[in-house]
Amino acid sequence: MSGLPPTFVKGFHDEASVRKMTYNRLGKTGLLLSQLSIGGGTLAPFYENDDEDEAIRAIQYAIKSGVNYIDTAPYYGQGRSEKIIGKALKGIPRQAYYIATKVGRYNMGNTIDEMFDFSAKKTKESIDISLNYLGLESVDILQIHDIEFADSLDIVVNETLPVVEEAKKQGKARFIGVTGYPLEPLKQIILKAPGRFDTVLAYSRYTMLDESLVDYLPFFLEQDLGVICAANHALGLLTNHGAFDWHVAGDDLKKQGRLCGEYCKEQDVELGKLAIWYSAQLKGPATFLVGMATTDIVNINLDSFQNGLNEKESLILTYCLKNFCAKKSHWEGIEIAKLRAAAAKK
C-alpha cells in the first residue's frame, strides 16, 4: 500500500517522504512495514562503524523519512547495537516504529558453545537485558536467532520457544519470529511448531549472488508468516567496500562480489544501491532489511526504493549480473562446520 501508515505521526515525520514509501502487511501480524527497514547488525564493531553519534542521527533520520521497522540483537556488538538504538529512540514517538530483537546468539567466539545458548534460563535473562538496553517495556517482535546452530531444533522448540511465548503473555513482545541463514531448518521448525511463529527472517538468501529464498517463499507465505528478507548486500559482499576479513563465504563467492565492487567503483556507482534495488524486486517479503549506520547510506537506500535506478545504474547492474554473478552460490554450512570443528578440538 501507499499513503500514510498507522505509524505516521503528524509533526514528527517528513510526510512527503512517508508518502513515497511502500508499506506491506507482515503476515498474520497485521503490521504494515516499510519496504525498507533498518538492520542493527552494522552497529556492531565487526562492521567498523565506530561513530555512535552518526549512527544515532542515521536511525532518527530514517524513521522520520518513513522507515518504520528496526531489527537488532544482543549478538550485534554484545549489546552495542541495542544500546545505540535505545539512545536513538529517545524522543521518538513510540507509535512511529516497530522494533524487533532476538535471543539465542550472543558472543563472538571460536566455538558454538561460546556463541550460542538456547537454554530457557539464558533466554529469560536475555529478554530483560535487551528491553533495558532499548529503553522499552516491550518489543513488537521477539525472534529466536540463527536456529541452525542449536544442537537440535527440539531444544529450540522445547526450551527457547516456551520462554519467548511466556514473554509474549507478559506483554514484553507482541509477536514471535525465527531467523537463520539455511532455509531448510526454518521450514522444519515451523513444521515442528505449527502456528507458533508469526514471522521468519532469512538473510542473504535473495541477492545478486543467491536466490535460494524463491524455493521456500511459497511455503512461508502459505503459513501466513511475515517474511523479512535481510542482508541483501550479502553481509558486505555486495558493496563498494567489499567483504570484511571475517566473512565466511568461499573464495569464489568473495571474488564475484569483489569484481562487482571494483567495476562499480570504476563507474562511480555504489554497488550497495544496485544490490538492494535488485533484492527489493522480489514479491512476497514484507520488508527488506539493510544496515544503515550513516545518513549517507540511508539516503542511498531511500533513493533506491523511492526512485529506482537510473539508466547508467541499470546498465551496470545488468553487466554485473551477466559477467560476475551468473553462477549463483552461497556459504551455507561453512560457518557451522568451522565452529563445530573448533568445539570438537576442545
Question: Which residue in the block uniquely carries the three cell numbers 568451522?
Answer: 338
Phi, psi of 230 (to 5 degrees): -110, 165
Q: Could you give the C-alpha distances from 316 to 139, 264, 309, in angstroms and in order?
A: 40, 7, 10
* Grid coordinates belonging to 299: 539516503
The one catalytic residue among 75, 76, 106, 278: 76
**CA-CA distance, 157 to 298, in Å (whole number)?**
37
How many C-alpha atoms does 304 have within 13 Å on its Cβ side?
28
Phi, psi of 269 (to 5 degrees): -130, 145
Phi, psi of 319 (to 5 degrees): -65, -45
**CA-CA distance, 288 to 301, in Å (whole number)?**
11
Other Cβ atoms less than 10 A from the Cβ of 321: the count is: 15
Which residues, at least 6 apart from 68, have a Cβ–Cβ distance to it below 8 Å?
5, 7, 23, 32, 33, 34, 37, 96, 97, 98
Contact between 38 and 84 under an 8 Å Cβ cutoff? The reply is no
Contact between 199 and 29 under an 8 Å Cβ cutoff? The reply is yes
Which residues, at least 6 apart from 46, have a Cβ–Cβ distance to it below 8 Å?
77, 108, 244, 246
* Grid coordinates belonging to 41: 547488525
Q: What is the DSSP letter of 47?
A: G
Question: Is 76 one of the annotated active-site residues of the chain?
Answer: yes
Look at the alpha carbons of 137, 68, 273, 24 in this order and tell me if their dihedral is positive or negative.
positive
- CA–CA–CA angle 40, 200, 190 (5° rounding): 145
**CA-CA distance, 325 to 318, in Å (whole number)?**
10
Write out the catalytic residue numbers: 76
